[in-house]
Structure 1
Amino acid sequence: MEQRLNMVMNPVRDVAALRAFYEGGLGWNTWGPEMPGSVMYRLGTAVLVFVNRDYLAKEAGIDVAETSRIINAVFVSSKADVDTQMAKVVAAGGTITSPVRDRDGGLYSGYFADPEGNCWEIVWSPHMPVGADGGLTLGGQ
């Protein structure tokens, strides 16, 4: 079974500042169409969508204070990719919330928070090898 892209949306106060962090600091490239006050990135199996907090709350019909942050996992294709991404986080001024380490089940990952406090796990899994098309596959199937 192919691992499909996961789309996550995070509300932000300052989209320009996050663009500087992710594009300038981490070197992530924008992907897909943009709406005013938003930006999309693709990394590993995730599409990361950053949307202006007020806009997202209005569209969702909720109070802006209820647009809580969550921890998002971004799967990469090797342990070296985890190390590379985490080093970029440090250089860009992000906060390492849990250093890179080997975990149960053979996982290798680390956690960081961006300037707005959005939390991310960068993870490599031995259960998600890279397929012939370059995409990650679940369970080697």
Structure 2
Amino acid sequence: MSRMIFVNLPVADLAKSREFLEALGATNEPKFTDETAACMTISDSIFVMLLTHDKFSQFTPRPIADAKAGSEVLLCLSADSREQVDTTVERAVSAGGTADPGPKQDYGVMYGRSVADPDGHIWEVMWMDPAAAEKGAEAVAAL
């Protein structure tokens, strides 16, 4: 059996957060979506569960962090090109995101930008030249 990852995020406005994730390229899985949660498919093995604060609280005894005030996680999605990085960020901004809460990263063979979702979670979108990726982190760091 292949392994899957489910990223669970607390959200204030489920519909707005779902629209934001759709702008990043995710699709909704209606079998696991209701008025308290939305299952968003990133790939065959990666899913984001958007959970209302009440629903999220059912899974943890800890208080929900304010992602606008602190960083609890950085999420990064790959892109097929530099242009796709920019268009993905632009779509996410149109869906309520805030572009570039951190500086753009342009290392020639690696290019990335970030966008904060309506709740403040930071989503990075990154492209890396396939030849550079084959050489690994040390080769990229040397640039």
State the TM-score bracket (shorter-chain normalisation). 0.5 to 0.7
- 1:88-135 alpha-carbon deviations (Å, 9 max, x no partner): 12333311113544138x321101101111111011123599xxxxxx
Structure 2 CA distance for aligned equivalents of residues 41 and 14 of structure 1: 15
Q: Which runs of 5+ in 2 are unaligned?
A: 136-143
Kept in 2: contact 1:43–1:76 (CA 8 A): no
Instruction: Measure how far apart 1:67 and its partner are.
Output: 7.9
Answer whether contact 1:15 1:51 (CA < 8 A) is retained.
yes
Q: Which amino acid aligns with 1:33?
A: K
**Structure 2 counterpart of 1:48:** 48
TM-score (norm 1): 0.67
Aligned equivalent of 1:93: 96
Q: Which among 121, 128, 131 is matched to residue 124 of structure 2?
A: 121
Tell me how far apart the structure 2 counterparts of residues 109 and 118 of structure 1 sit (CA, whole Å): 16
CA distance in structure 1 between the partners assigned to 2:96 and 2:131 by the alignment: 30
- Following superposition, the deviation at residue 16 of structure 1 comes to 1.9
In the alignment, the residues of structure 1 paired with residue 78 and residue 46 of structure 2 have an alpha-carbon distance, to the nearest angstrom, of 7
The number of residue pairs the alignment matches comes to 126
Aligned to 1:34: 32
Contact 2:8 2:49 (C-alpha < 8 Å) held by counterparts: yes
Q: Does 1:103 align with 2:110?
A: no
Partner SS for 2:125: strand
12 and 81 in structure 1: CA distance in 2 versus 1, 3 angstrom threshold: same
Equivalent position of 1:81 in the other structure: 84
Partner of 1:17: 16
Structure 1 residues 108, 47: CA separation in 2 closer, same or farther (over 3 Å shift)?
A: farther
Name 2:140's counterpart in structure 1. none
TM-score (norm 2): 0.67
Structure-2 separation of matches of 1:32 and 1:78: 30
Question: What CA distance in whole angstroms lies between the structure 2 residues aligned with 1:11 and 1:119?
Answer: 13
Contact 2:16/2:95 (CA < 8 Å) preserved in 1? no
Structure 2 counterpart of 1:29, one-letter code: T
Aligned residue identity for 1:123: M
Unaligned runs of 5+ in 1: 130-137
